[in-house]
Structure 1
């Protein structure tokens, strides 16, 4: 969704419009002393407290950065409701956005102020890491807010959630390979990854171990250089536009920010499948039909990238990595079941996943693995 030029009235309409909003609660946070400006959005608590990460982003280039942040938080929170439902977690959807360049304004005082705002919600929202925030940041936030996950192991936390996010995306790719080519492996296939940050770097390693050919790009050349220094066999290309047109590409993996699949990208894609870690990959309603029309298999983003939220949710039980990884491994079966449901219903996989998630939310969580667990 584009946020540029949105009016205050337009934002209010978005907040209450059921097909795009319908959020239970939206909190605008400002702490003048620390410079904090943030949005916390709770989409649904039907399955339990909202759980989702904290994005720290400047929204540079936007005409109205605060409005862009609000709309991003709304979309991300809604996506978390669907993600947590499909992952079988006893959690609803929430998300927070801190506005500004983390390299310039992130301070301990700002993070503590943010923690106080999260704490003021009394447990309705449980926060974690996202783009621009890290484990050490969550350790600071946790000093003011006990509803904080993604903390360091030294503080009793699960550590870097990108580990199981990448593992889950890899399981989604294996399911895509099973559906398309009859075997759950990427061996001999070419996979293009757009964005090799925290998640993308781990994903590269899974794919190389599986015998795939890997091609990468990133808006930061140093990120590509870091991957290629560790794995010289990985190929780098100049930009995403080059990657989506890469000859012989089997799987395209968007692993940066949202809106990666748009009206310019989909017609240019050479890949036979899309499976990546980015949230909100479909730029607007109807893109899923465009993908299906071109015969491109789409693994719904919020299904395959749920490994990270599975990891941080397990932290609330007293973190056990083996237990969390076993849950994340089930993303393979979940993704396959969505492909089967889509074929049966004659709809794109994104629509099939939405139907299942909405049924779970409407039913209070029945039918999802792990949905009976209590986090106390």
Structure 2
């Protein structure tokens, strides 16, 4: 039985890998077509656009993972059905539950890959992509590391450790160099861009002399920096591009400051549902295959899978808009489409059984 489980899981994984191999180049073409309009603006060249597209792909990969899994499961398991292997398995006494279990093993691997992509790869790649575009458009050099964003401003080096929604920088460090020596080291709790300049608050400035260090503290001061506020796009990204922990921090901050956190709550719950959604898509594929294992071609099954994927997208977007516009619970908006499609699959499986 373990051999059959691995065989079914391998079919799901192989079909999904083939589907992603087709979808990702198409996504890249669509993203590049959108970026072409920006090529030529402020030094943003075609090579920059290509690099931006490449770095943006992990985020889009994460977003299409559930639909790709559904199509991949139909393609992989559909080949088994076309060769009557699923019929032979059932004739040999393999229950529908065991077929579902084998397919779900592949789904668990895909869910783990999706989590790794969405939490580890996509957020970093997205920030790199925004950095590439921002550097090309503004001409300013920057670097993103585990210690935040680094940028050069004349003879000063700026390090932004943290950020909050609303174009607010937090935990800023400014190192000023004169005659190849560090002369001033400034730390500020917060920076806001207002009326064409930056305003620092909670400032502690250290003047580094030859024999001593003098520390001054200020409540507020103007910061005449050449740092372009457009660079904020590098660290202030859209909610759906953030990892779960980043969304959680956003939500906590916005609730403390009594700001509208609807979009971030919807994105947060959507991230939590994503692994379950991948498993649900595989579960949905089983009754489609078993209901017509010998009478329907693979092409028709794939068309049904694409139609179901589009229908799920429309239903999930509808619940998202209901949550944003009419105050529907974001958790309910995330779990309701999943529950509806899973329930429909259970009903169909019972009929097949």
TM over 0.5: no
| Structure (1/2) with the larger helix percentage | 2
**Superposition TM-score, scaled by structure 1 size:** 0.29
**Superposition TM-score, scaled by structure 2 size:** 0.30
| Structure (1/2) with the larger strand percentage | 2
Greater Rg by CA: 2
